[in-house]
Structures are given as C-alpha cells and as structure tokens.
Amino acid sequence: MKKSIIVITIIALLFVANTAFADSAFKKLYRGVVNFVTSPLEIGCGIRDSYQESGILKASTWGIVDGFLRFGGRAICGMYETLTFPLPAYDPIIKNPEFILDL
C-alpha cells in the first residue's frame, strides 16, 4: 500500500513539472544513481591519490581510510539525489568531479 502511494506521488509530481524542471529532475536522478552505483570506485581513487602524493606507506594507511570516507560521501550524496529528484533541482553536491567516471 505504501509503495503504491509513493509511486503515484512521484508520477504525479513528474506530470506537474514543467519541461525545464523535468529535464533537471531527470538529470538529478541520473547523477544520483550513477554516483551511488560507482561510489565504491572512490576507495581505489583514495589509495591511488595517496600513493601519488606520498608513496606506498601513506597509500596503505591513510589512502584506505580516505577512500572509504570518499566512498561514503559519494554514496550518501547519490542516494540523497536519487530520493529527492522530484524536488526542485540545484547544483550538484559533489562538484569535483561531478561523476567519478570524469576522472
């Protein structure tokens, strides 16, 4: 019952939205899904960045911690944008890079 109410509400919000809003809402949904799905890649990026900056010791300690923190941040932002896509759009929360695949 609750799922059907949520689905009907989302569909109604999409029909009410004007064209510009619908375009930005779907972009927000896309950005949220892509960032949530690709968020585990941040672990490797954190290790790689630490290795390039300071070598293997930092990569094997701080790089892992940094990667997991970045993974959590991207996953939370992705889930937030996915769940709130029918609401008015705004600039991306994560800006550098907007998508992990842009690296």
The pLDDT assigned to 97 comes to 82
Q: Report d(CA 103, CA 95) in Å as an integer.
A: 12
Smallest CA-to-CA distance from 83 within 39, 23, 31 is with 31
Q: What percent of the chain has pLDDT over 90?
A: 49
Query: In this model, does residue 83 exceed pLDDT 80?
Result: yes
> What are the domain boundaries of the chain?
2-102
Give the confidence band of 19 by pLDDT, cuts at 50, 70, 90: very low
The pLDDT assigned to 11 comes to 67
Rounded average pLDDT over 1-23? 62
